[in-house]
Amino acid sequence: MTLPRTPSFRLDGKRALVTGGTSGIGLGCAVALAEHGAYVTLAARNVDRMKDAASEMRAEGWTVDTVTMDVADIASMQAKIADAGPYDICVNSAGYARHAPAVDTTEVDFDAMTDLNAKGAYFLAQSIAKSLITAKKPGSIVQITSQMGHVGGQERAVYCGSKHAVEGYTKAQAIEWGPYGIRVNTICPTFVRTPLTEQTFKRPELVEWIEDKIKLGRIGEVEDIMGATLFLASDASALITGTHILVDGGWTAD
């Protein structure tokens, strides 16, 4: 009898691009990949914060570099990815949220959210896939969406719509790029404590709503997303594409 062996979670020799990788969930994703051997490129708009994050990661002995990138600036983003050569892994954690009642949504806010969360996510995945196809290499693309890509939420109509869009893009891209060995999946977190969510947790009525909806009884932490990221980036998920992992504490179970 030949016993099966667990596929490796190691990422040695892999190049990984992590957008929005300087804080919160994005930084957690970058650390998860670097810890397991990937050469990580942090991509963000905030140069100073990006340099600080890279410096701290290098101090851990990990291989990290940086690129200034605005995912919503499609032409610039495409050029930078084309110049850098193929990334084996891409984790897109760049995102924007400005919450308001649906009757108060402004066109400016609508465009800002959809330009980054939906349009930017689409063309980022396209750019990564093009470079992999040209190089005849397989790869893994992971979009950080949200549980709000599967349900609705108060004061989040546009945000929900942008995340639902990426869930749809992902399924279609997975179908088209599967023959090239390129996998495309999403991770859908619940509310997670990060610098960007501090204001949410200062509103008692929202905290009550959140805690009531999360069946495991606690708000998410960045570390809760890291294992799912590593799994989808590695050979441990080699037959998984066109789907999502809900890291939502049971929010969407009912």
Output the six-digit token pair for 25.
């969930």
β-strand pairing of 139-144 with 89-92: parallel
Judged against a pLDDT cut of 90, whether residue 116 lies above it is answered with yes
pLDDT at res. 200: 81
- Output the CA–CA distances (angstroms, integers) from residue 98 to 114, 118, 162, in the order listed: 11, 14, 12
pLDDT at res. 254: 85
Output the six-digit token pair for 177.
């790029």
Answer CATH for 15-193+221-247 from 3.40.50.720, 3.40.50.620, 3.30.1330.60, 3.40.800.20: 3.40.50.720
* CA nearest neighbour of 188 among 237, 150, 219: 150
Average pLDDT over residues 123-145: 98
**Digit-coded pLDDT (tens) for 172-184:** 999 999 999 999 9
Q: What is the mean pLDDT of the chain?
A: 96
- d(CA 209, CA 230) in angstroms, rounded, equals 30
**Digit-coded pLDDT (tens) for 93-112:** 999 999 999 999 999 999 99
Residues in the chain: 254
How far is residue 198 CA from its own chain's centroid? 19
**Domain coordinates in residue numbering, the chain:** 15-193+221-247
**Digit-coded pLDDT (tens) for 12-55:** 999 999 999 999 999 999 999 999 999 999 999 999 999 999 99
Query: Which residues are within 8 A (CB) of 26 and not within 5 positions of it... i.e. 6 or more apart?
Result: 18, 19, 20, 44, 91, 93, 94, 144
Burial 192-230 (b: 16+ CB within 10 A, else e): bbbeebeebeeeeebeeebeebbeeeebbebebbbebbb
Q: At what angle do helices 107-114 and 157-177 cross, to 10 degrees?
A: 30
Q: Give the predicted TM-score (pTM) of the model.
A: 0.96
pLDDT at res. 221: 97
pLDDT at res. 49: 95
Judged against a pLDDT cut of 90, whether residue 85 lies above it is answered with no
- Output the CA–CA distances (angstroms, integers) from residue 154 to 146, 158, 210, in the order listed: 14, 11, 11
Angle (CA) 133 77 192, round 5°: 100
Which residues have a catalytic role annotated? 159
